Structure 1
Amino acid sequence: MNSSADQYKEISENMPSEEQRIVEYNEILQYRLNSVLPGLLEEEEFDAWMVIGRENNEDPIINTLLPGSFHGASRVTAFLFTKEERFVLSPYGSRMEEFYQCAWTNEEGDVFKSMAKLLRDLKIRTLGLNFSEDFALADGITHSLFESLRQKFDDHIHLVSAERIAVNWLQTRSDREIEVYRKLDRIAHTIIGNAFSRENIIPGVTTTRDVEMRLKKLASNLGLRTWFGPDVDLQRRGAEDPRKTGVIEGGDLLHCDFGFMYSGLATDTQQMFYLKSDEENDLPEGLDDVIRKTNEVQDILARNFIEGISGNELLSISLRDAKERGLDATIYSHPVGYHGHGAGPIIGLWNNQEKIPGTGDLKIRNSTCFAMELNCRSPLHSWDDQPVYGFLEETVAFRNNKIDYLDGRQEELFIL
């Protein structure tokens, strides 16, 4: 049995039960409401922030405010936050009183009447709502709900965008969440290492799709849900496509992109493997430099991470530094948290290495997590100077102007 299989077995035997996960999730939610949210509200000028959504068409922030045993809004569900108090208006609000004051019950009838009374009692004059031109995750209120609120309240309440607090609530991570992420990163690495083994990959038989399904099954067996793909592809001498799929052969350079959800947090990881052919005793000359050069790009990006710099500035500076070192880099890193492609500053896109309006203009903040995703291209002389890409991605935390690789990073090409 390979070491990753041993580690996977250990992880499987120690995974928290569903009840334990809910308890942990609720403890983190309580901490965030008590310790993270007040500071974010202090940055705002409006009197209150409302997050409102309908069942089956929720604002994406709704699920980040619900306790762990809830799975979405019920009918119309709303949360209201002032600098001193927090409220819930929901048919099941009484079951959330550990976290919020219940401001409406079914017996009271029209939820909007209770909402209007609550706002009058609190003397709310400006109300922040989740609408935004630039940030999808901060644009969760539906047109019909916005119009309902505007018609009912706009004569005495000014409705304003709450996009800043929406983004910051989603992207800010507590210390405990970062430690949970550390465990999740180890699980991600272990699953990938288990799927990419000679026991599971037979040259000329196993396909990239087979490995994708094994990654998915290994995650599912631990009670984890993949939030995309996963994706497995390969580079092969003589093949132009650097993301080729199909039957895996000896001599292929393999790559995976894998991410899962656990208790509201998303991971995103990419690693690379080389499947030696039966005739090979050594790696093709220069292939071991693929990871080393890509690590150099990671190092450059990590050094340039500074609180207060924009995603666009970070991209521009890092690409300049990489070019000065002779590295052909492409950077497309993004926040992770409640969503795999999370709220916060985007640092490049794979198809756009220029300024990205809106999301790229956001500033880097402390206590956030990112998927450090990038590649470095270089000609491989032993493959007739064919361009070869090093694709890497790691979930990292940014605290106190330092990047923390939560479970380390790949620093050499893994050999099968």
Structure 2
Amino acid sequence: MLHLLQFLFLCLELSWIVHQCDAGHPTKPAQYQQLPSLREQASIEQAWRAERIAGIPALLRKYNVDAWLMIQREHAEDTIWWSIKNATAFDSHRRTVVLFHTNSSTTTGLSNPIVWVDNTDQVWPELRSTFEEHDFSRIVLNTDRNIAFAGGLHVGEYETLAEELGEMWMKRTVNEPMLAIEYVATRLDGYLPYYRKMQETVWAMLEEGFSHRVVRPGITSTEDLSWWFREKIQERNLTTWNQPRISVLVEDSYPGWEGTDDVIQEGDILHIDFGITAMGLNTDTQHMAYVLRTDQDLPEASAPQSLKDGLKKANRMQDIVLSNMKPGVTGNQVLQQSLDQMRSEGIEGQIFCHPIGDWGHDAGAVIGFLNLPEYVPVVGELPLFPNTYYSIELYAYHFVEERNETIRFRIEENAHWNKDTQSWQFVRGRQEKYHLIDKRKTFAGSLLVQSP
């Protein structure tokens, strides 16, 4: 079964390479992509899980530890649980204890991981016996104070563990956050064909939602449009981690997590930030749209040149960031090098890129934060890992002459690690042209339920 899945992955990969590009605005309209049935998805995810878990012993050896112990109870799971669980599992059952180790199961007879599911205290003598038999000297617990992915052991479980193991074994426990970070951050080769499908579906939603087929200037509100995207996500049998937030951009505005609630008018600059979730993967995308003015002597056929120049400036920032992203350098190093290059080119803006994968904001080095534009403690000092996906998220300031105001041109695209070029490249290109909304085009009935 695994060989068949690997063959299917290869076929999908080759198919996508033929018609997909890694940079620049895609030349063909996006089409909604059909993911496998839920049953097939679960089978594929299980194969991915097995491949990821098979690599844990090597990671343990890399970080010079013998075992990795996770303890959680239903509704109080360790953060790592969501990256190791079965595809059809939700919460953990009762108290679930998971122990990864470096001992070869072929010589010891131990499964890897060893899993106990128990709501009595029988797990503790069995755990102590396992420790005594194999004499683990360095046992990782997820107790880090700064990294969420390495700090998922709940206080009550930690205190219970300390009582049951005793001082000798607790002295052998260590905090090694890079273990959890590297495990969660690493993307498998088999992910990419499906991630491309997800990203094209995102673009298809954007191209449809930001069009005359959905938006009626003077009637449709940004809140109406946000709900259209929510319905479309559900309709495609997808879910979201980052709810659609649509804003009308005005001078130096940054609506943030709320978006705006404005009636969309001709001449508006629109912005969306949202992400979809499927097959244990997440996307995160920001695009911009423009509502053409049709009430002038010479109706607009495209966005004004100054808006095009602002988007082009943000695209240049994307180029700068990608050129500075190298495995092994820290997020702060990428940030500082990129900011220096922007200043030398006379570009003002802000960078806040993040890994993306199992989570929308995934494990790994962060490249800037909105509230920390020059230096990010802790997560900014982490090194970049290859085989990681990144959201290249940023904005450029640009003065819009037609409006006599400065706008933040906000864009975001997901990038994958290309082993051939040894660089991060966009999964489905990037936005270099505005989505244009033109009410002069035929409106064949409303696709949108308007607010009362």
Q: What's the TM-score, normalizing by structure 1?
A: 0.89
Alignment RMSD (CA, Å): 2.0
> Of 160, 163, 180, which residue of structure 1 is paired with 2:174?
160
Shift of 1:42: 2.1
Spell out, residue by residue over 1:216-242, the C-alpha distance to the aligned partner (whole angstroms, 9 max, x if none).
111111221111221110124xx5635
One-letter identity of the residue aligned with 2:300? N
Q: How far apart are 1:84 and its partner, in Å?
A: 3.2
Counterpart of 1:276, as a letter, is L
Q: Partners in 1 of 2:216 and 2:193 — Cα distance? A: 37
Instruction: Deviation per CA, 1:93-122: give whole Å up to 9, x if none.
Output: xxxxxx856554669962222222222222
Q: Distance in 1 between matches of 2:95 and 2:104?
A: 21
Is residue 412 of structure 1 aligned with residue 433 of structure 2?
A: yes
Alignment of 1:30 onto 2:50? yes
Q: Which residue of 1 aligns with 2:237?
A: 223
Deviation at 1:251, TM superposition (A): 0.3
Task: Determine if the alignment matches structure 1 residue 198 to structure 2 residue 219.
Answer: no
Compute the displacement of 1:56 (Å).
0.5
- Offset at residue 281 of structure 1 (A): 2.0
Find the residue that maps to 2:167 and give its secondary structure: coil
1:350-361 to 2 correspondence within 5 Å? 350-361=370-381
For structure 1, list consecutive stretches of 5 or more residues without a partner in the other structure: 87-98
Name the structure 2 match of 1:334. Answer: 354
1:268 to 246, 265, 284: 284
* 2:315 matches 1:295: yes
For 1:392-411, list aligned pairs within 5 A.
392-400=411-419, 401-411=422-432
Partner of 2:16: none
Corresponding position of 1:18: 38
> For residue 21 of structure 2, what is the aligned residue in structure 1?
none
- Residue-by-residue CA offset, 1:330-365 (whole Å, 9 max, x unaligned): 000001111111111110011211211100000011
Q: Which amino acid aligns with 2:278?
A: Y
CA deviation vs aligned residue, 1:178-221 (integer Å, no higher than 9, x gap): 33222221121112222111110010111111111111111111
Q: Does structure 2 conserve the Cα–Cα contact (< 8 Å) formed by 1:104 and 1:114?
A: no
1:114 is matched with which residue? 126
> Structure 1 vs Structure 2: percent identity of aligned residues?
27
Specify the SS of the correspondent of 2:162: helix
Q: Give the secondary-structure state (helix, strand or coil) at the position aligned to 1:287.
A: helix
Paired residue secondary structure (1:30): helix
Partner of 2:17: none
Q: Aligned pair in 2 of structure 1 residues 391, 74: CA closer, same or farther (>3 Å)?
A: same
CA distance in 2, matches of 1:370, 1:227: 16
Task: Say whether the 8 Å CA contact 2:97–2:117 is kept in structure 1.
Answer: no
Task: Say if 2:76 is the partner of 1:57.
Answer: yes
Q: 1:360-399 maps to which residues of 2 (within 5 A)? A: 360-384=380-404, 386-399=405-418
Shift of 1:38: 3.3
Which residue does 1:7 correspond to in 2? 31
Q: Which moved more, 1:197-206 or 1:181-190?
A: 181-190
Indicate conservation of the 8 Å contact 2:100/2:113, yes or no.
Answer: no
Bigger RCO of structures 1 and 2 (CA < 8 A, at least 6 apart) = 2
CA 288–103 in structure 1, closer or farther in 2 if over 3 Å, else same: closer
Which one-letter code corresponds to 1:83 in the other structure? T
Matched AA of 2:276: F
Question: Are 1:277 and 2:298 counterparts?
Answer: no
Query: What is the letter of the counterpart of residue 404 of structure 1?
Result: Q
Give the distance between the partners of 1:381 and 1:339, measured in 2 at CA.
40
Distance 1:151 1:399, change over 3 A: farther
Inter-partner Cα distance in structure 2 for 1:242 and 1:128: 41
Amino acid at match of 1:233: S
8 Å Cα contact 1:234-1:242 kept in structure 2: no
Matched, 1:144 2:161: no
Greater alpha carbon shift after TM alignment, 129-138 vs 307-316:
129-138
- Report the TM-score when normalising by structure 2: 0.83
> Measured at CA, do residues 106 and 375 of structure 1 come closer, stay the same or move farther in structure 2, by a change above 3 Å?
closer
What letter corresponds to residue 265 of structure 1 in structure 2?
A: L
Cα distance in 1 between the residues matched to 2:357 and 2:289: 27
Matched residue of 1:192: which SS?
Answer: helix
Q: Which residue, out of 211, 214, 227, partners 2:228?
A: 214
SS in 1 for 2:190: helix
Residue 47 of structure 1, aligned match among 62, 66, 77: 66
Give, in whole Å, the separation in 2 of the partners of 1:69 and 1:352: 38
